[in-house]
Structure 1
Amino acid sequence: MRALLIVNPNATSTTPAGRDLLAHALESRVELAVAHTGHRGHAAELAQQAAADGMGLIVVHGGDGTVNEVINGFLPKPVLGPANSLSAGWMPRIAVVPGGSANVFARSLGTSSDPVVATNQLIDLLSSDTTRRIGLGYADDRWYTFTAGMGLDARVCEAIDSSRNDGHAVTPARYVRTTVQEFFKSKGSHPTLTVELEGAEPVSGVHYAFVSNSSPWTYLNTLPVHTNPGTSFDTGLGVFAMRSTSMVSTLRLARQLLTPGAEPKLDKLFRVDDVPCARFTSSVPIGLQMDGDYLGLREEVVFHSVPQALEVVAPKPDPKG
C-alpha cells in the first residue's frame, strides 16, 4: 500500500528523532512518501494531492489543527438532507500519530498521546489491518472531528492563536488562564445565541455553546473533560449550551466537568446527545471555532452529523465504553 506521511514540523511535541522513528517504522509496512508542511493550508493541499494520486493511507503527525486540515483537504462535501451522508467513492484511510499540544482527536480514538507509543500502536494496527469508520461533524462548509464551539470557546481559541503567533508555548495551563480571562471579560454580557433542534422548541438566552462529535470534549493534561458523555464517533452530535454566567453556576459546572463519570446537569444548562442537526443563530456576530481553530464571527451556523464519513486506522472501540 502506498502511503503519505504528513508532518507538521512546528507542532508542539514533534521532534526530528520522533519523526525519523515514525518514518522508518512505516517504511517496514507501506510504500512511504514523506512531506513536511510549510504554511497554513499546506496539509490540505498535500492530502488533496495524495487522494488524487490514489494513495491508500495518509498518516498525520501533528496536532488537531493539522488533522482537521488534512481531512478538509480530501474529503468531499456531504449530501445533506433527512439522512446526512457522504457520496459513495474511494477515499484514503487516515491514521494519526499525535504531535500537538492537546491531540484530542487521536486520544479520543484510543491512540496514545506519547508519539513513540503511538507509533508502535500504528504499526501493530497496520499489521492486523485494524480500521474503523467514524462519523464527523460538518458546519460552515467544513468538516470537524471532535468539537466546535460558539462564544466563549471561540474567544479562547482566538486568544490562544494570537499568543502562539507571538511565540508563546501552548500548554494546558495557558488554556486554563485564557479561559478564565475570557470568561470574566464576557461575564454579565447579554446572551445572544438561540439553539434550534428539529421537533423541539428553540432554546434562547444562550451565552456560549459546544457541539461535540465525540467525548471527551478536551483534555487537561491526562484529565478528560466530558461535556456530553453520551456522544461518540458512532452517534450524532452532542449539544451543550449554557444560559448563565453566574459564578455559582460556573463553579458547579466546572466541578461536574472535571469529575470522572459525572453527568453535567444544571437548571441553566441545555444538554442533549445524539443530535443529527442543530441550528445556531446569534443576534450579533459571535465567534466560531472548530477543532480548536478560530474561524471568525458568524450570525448563523448549522451543524450536521455525518455518519460513517471517514475510515481511520485506530483501535476498535471498547464495547463496555
Structure 2
Amino acid sequence: MHALLIVNPNATSTTAAGRDLLAHALASRVRLTVTHTTHRGHASELARRAREDATGLIIVHGGDGTVNEVVNGLLGVPHPTRLTDLPVGPIPPIAVVPGGSANVFARSLGISPDPVEATNQVIDLIGHRTSRRIGLAHCDERWFTFNAGLGLDAQVCEAVEAHRSAGKLATPGQYLRATVRAFFAAKGAEPSLTAEVPGHEPVEGVHFAFVSNTSPWTYLNARPIHTNPGTTYDGGLGLFAMRSTRLGTTLRVARQLLAPGASPHSKSLLRVDDAARIRLTSSRPIGLQMDGDYIGLRDRVEFVSVPDALDVVAPPAR
C-alpha cells in the first residue's frame, strides 16, 4: 500500500529526530512518501492531490490545525443542498501521529499524545488493518472534526493564536489563562445568541455555545472535558449553550465538565446531545472557531452533522 506522510515541521512537539524515526518506522510497513508542509493550506493541497492519485493512506504528523486542513483537502467544500455532503469516489483513510500542542482529535480517537508511543500504536493498527468510520461536521463551508463554537471558546482560540504568533508555546496553562481572561472580559456584555435545534423551541439569550462532534475532548492534557457526554463520532452533534455568566453558576457547571461520569446540567444551560443540525444566530458579529482555529466574526452559522464521513486508523470505539 502506498501511504503519504504529511509533516508539519513547525508543529509544537515535532523534532527532526522524531520525524526521521516516524518515517523509518512507517516505511517498514508501507510504501511511503514523505512531504513537509511549507505554508498555510499546504496540507489541504497535498491531501486533495493524494485523493486524486488514489493514495491508499494519509498519515498526518502535526497538530489539530494540520489534521483539519487534511480533512478539508480530502472532502472538499461541503454542499448542504446536495444529496450528499461528501465527494464522489474513494476517500483514503487517515492516521494521526500527534505533533501539536493540544492534539485534541488524536486523543479523542484513543491515540497516545506522545509521538513515539503514537508511532508504535499507529504501526500496530496498520499492521492489523484496524480502523473505524466516524462522522464529521461542517459549517461556514468548512469541515471540522471534534468541535466548533461561537463566543467564549473562539475568543480563547484567537488569544492562543496571538500567543503562538509571538513565538510562545500554547500550553494547557495558556489555554486556561486565556479562558479566564476572556470570561471576565465578556462578563458584562448582553447575550447575543439564539440557538435553534430541530425538534426544540428556539432559545434566546445565549452568551456562548460549543458544538461538539465527540465527547470527551480537552485542551488540558489528559484532563477530559465532558460538555456533551451523549455525543459520539457515531451520532449527531452536541450543543452546550450557556445563558448565564454569573460566577457561581459558571463555576458549578465547570466542575461538572471536569468530573468523571458527570452529566452537565443547570437551569442556565441548554444542552442537546444528538442533533443533526444546529443553527446559531447573533444580534452582533461574534467570533467563530473550528477545531481550535479562530475563523473570524460571524452573525449566523449552521452546523451540520454528516455520518460515516471518514475512515480513521484508530482503536475501536469504547
TM-score by length of 2: 0.97
Q: Which secondary structure does the structure 1 equivalent of 2:4 belong to? A: strand
Equivalent residue runs for 1:308-319 within 5 Å = 308-318=308-318
One-letter identity of the residue aligned with 1:110: G
Structure-2 residue corresponding to 1:144: 144
Query: C-alpha distance in 1, partners of 2:191/2:55?
Result: 47
One-letter identity of the residue aligned with 1:93: P
Query: C-alpha distance in 2, partners of 1:37/1:286?
Result: 31
One-letter identity of the residue aligned with 2:124: D
Alignment check: 8 A CA contact 1:6 1:34 kept: yes
Structure-1 residue corresponding to 2:118: 118
Structure-2 residue corresponding to 1:261: 261
Q: Which secondary structure does the structure 2 equivalent of 1:96 belong to? A: strand
Structure-2 residue corresponding to 1:232: 232
One-letter identity of the residue aligned with 2:140: D
1:65 aligns with 2:33: no
Q: Give the percent of matched residue pairs that are identical in Structure 1 and Structure 2.
A: 65
Deviations 1:29-88 (A, max 9, x none): 111111111111111111111112111111000000100011111213445369865344
Structure-2 residue corresponding to 1:18: 18
Q: Which secondary structure does the structure 2 equivalent of 1:48 belong to? A: helix
Residue 250 of structure 1: CA displacement?
0.9
> Structure 1 162/44 Cα, relative in aligned 2: closer, same or farther at 3 Å?
same
> Structure 1 253/174 Cα, relative in aligned 2: closer, same or farther at 3 Å?
same
Alignment check: 8 A CA contact 1:279 1:303 kept: yes
Equivalent residue runs for 1:202-281 within 5 Å = 202-281=202-281
Deviations 1:188-233 (A, max 9, x none): 1000000001122101100000000011132412111110011110
Question: Which sits farther off after the overlay, 277-286 or 38-47?
Answer: 38-47
One-letter identity of the residue aligned with 2:54: G
Q: How many residues align?
A: 318
TM-score by length of 1: 0.96
Alignment check: 8 A CA contact 1:85 1:307 kept: no
Query: C-alpha distance in 1, partners of 2:83/2:262?
Result: 31
Structure-1 residue corresponding to 2:156: 156
Query: C-alpha distance in 2, partners of 1:236/1:50?
Result: 29
Deviations 1:96-120 (A, max 9, x none): 0011111110111010111111111
Residue 154 of structure 1: CA displacement?
0.3
Structure-1 residue corresponding to 2:193: 193
Query: C-alpha distance in 2, partners of 1:35/1:312?
Result: 20
> Structure 1 220/283 Cα, relative in aligned 2: closer, same or farther at 3 Å?
same
Alignment check: 8 A CA contact 2:75 2:87 kept: no
Gaps of 5+ in 2: none
Q: Which secondary structure does the structure 2 equivalent of 1:43 belong to? A: helix
1:46 aligns with 2:65: no
Q: Which secondary structure does the structure 2 equivalent of 1:35 belong to? A: strand
One-letter identity of the residue aligned with 1:156: V
Structure-1 residue corresponding to 2:290: 290
CA RMSD of aligned residues (A): 1.3
Query: C-alpha distance in 1, partners of 2:123/2:21?
Result: 12
Query: C-alpha distance in 1, partners of 2:86/2:48?
Result: 17
1:27 aligns with 2:27: yes
> Structure 1 69/238 Cα, relative in aligned 2: closer, same or farther at 3 Å?
same
Q: Which secondary structure does the structure 2 equivalent of 1:106 belong to? A: helix
Q: Which secondary structure does the structure 1 equivalent of 2:46 belong to? A: helix
Query: C-alpha distance in 2, partners of 1:58/1:92?
Result: 7
Q: Which secondary structure does the structure 1 equivalent of 2:201 belong to? A: coil
Structure-2 residue corresponding to 1:92: 92
One-letter identity of the residue aligned with 1:149: G
Structure-2 residue corresponding to 1:175: 175
Alignment check: 8 A CA contact 2:150 2:287 kept: yes
Alignment check: 8 A CA contact 1:79 1:87 kept: no
Gaps of 5+ in 1: none
